[in-house]
Structure 1
């Protein structure tokens, strides 16, 4: 093939390949080839990581990478629970940032202890800083409280004013102050809020759930056990239509080598 004649060992190629037939392991190059010199590896590796971070569903194309991503997520969650004794913290924003910093430092220290001397030294300057990892966006910093939840499926999540809702479910009489119900309605109608968060509130205070939702929905016969899941499916339809994805993005050995080489070039 004329297009392949210009390729040399060590070059990088971006191309589309398609299977010839499901019954075979043969593949066909389709369309044009974009060829890069061997020195472009670190830059291409960074582009690949950014693409995976922005579109984690691409992991679904590789079952092994998806499995590894879930393993990494489970390990990170286990470290969170080991450190704090729970997978859910309700804190004021400054305290939440302190706990996140503590958690990420714990994770970094653990990873470095598992590396040999040279690799541990190289890892010291790799990756985002603790400030970057533990920083919260302004809308969370402006909240009364922040819930930091490391869920098995949803991963590490943050929710503003969770403490107010937690108090409401613990004492439904607080519903007489409409600000509590207004915040719950916002949670229920906001597509960015996972159904998991509502379930967590109910799990923490099951005795208050029926009374709270009866006030919110103005349905005296509502019961969470009978009607709760249907309510979530109506209000959070999009969450049930997409497959959960791990929050971790694993990289292969070759990609990791190229990324590290790129950081070495920047430092030099």
Structure 2
């Protein structure tokens, strides 16, 4: 997900190259200032997400994604306009564009959203099946739940983020879940979890994260 200041647009993965070219064209000479501005914009968007939804990790029915984000973006824009000087408000549209998430997301019974400070907003189809065994490790007696976790581990498109969230939120039950998954009753989250992430998610641990928000405003002079 890439966000532009002002109106927000959801772009499919196929537009990545075009977006990168656009970002290069609009990048100003004072890149360090714009970089800092981009992080600040992402922080404000995340703060608004948490304020509106009540958490930085939520799950929604797939068919409710568009409606939920239409309502959230309306809230976000209204809040942003209220914080602006009155003479500036008229430059910006009061209505957010309608969101249209791809069917690959909306077709799922549930979609998880995690808005991380560094990694930005991430979407996880079927996240509830991933979370459940970390809350109740006995579910790992069922092969289906084991496959969900191993699938997340083996995916090269999923970072350490959902795993870190489980360890942070459910320290003891997540320890039990990993102990059951790897048949290691002495599993230690402080030691073994980091080694697990290094083994399966090493590229993400080395990655230098950049803001997912681009400070581009067509009203700027």
Q: Which moved more, 1:114-123 or 1:94-103?
A: 114-123
Per the alignment, in what secondary structure is the counterpart of residue 92 of structure 2?
helix
Does residue 77 of the first structure (1) align with residue 46 of the second (2)? yes
In structure 2, C-alpha distance between the alignment counterparts of 1:54 and 1:62, rounded to whole Å: 11
> 1:68-107 alignment to 2 at 5 Å?
68-107=37-76
- CA distance 1:54–1:218, change in 2 (3 Å): farther
Deviations 1:93-135 (A, max 9, x none): 1334332222111112223334566754442288x71x23xx3
The residue number in structure 1 matching 2:160 is: 195
Give the paired residue count. 202
- Normalising by structure 1, we get a TM-score of 0.66
CA–CA separation in structure 1 for the residues paired with 2:144 and 2:175: 18
- 2:113 paired residue number: 148
So what's the TM-score if we normalise by structure 2?
0.78
Query: Take 1:227 and 1:154, find their aligned partners in 2: how far apart are those partners?
Result: 23
After superposing the two structures, state which structure 1 stretch, 157-166 or 88-97, moved more.
88-97
1:94–1:141 Cα contact (<8 Å) kept: yes
Shift in Å, 1:198: 0.7
Tell me which residue corresponds to 2:127. Answer: 162
Unpaired segments of 5 or more residues in structure 1? 1-48, 259-268
- Give the alignment of 1:1-268 within 5 angstroms: 50-51=19-20, 62-115=31-84, 120-124=89-93, 129=97, 131-132=98-99, 135-251=100-216, 256-257=219-220
Higher-Rg structure is: 1
**Higher relative contact order by CA 8 Å / sep ≥ 6: 1 or 2?**
2
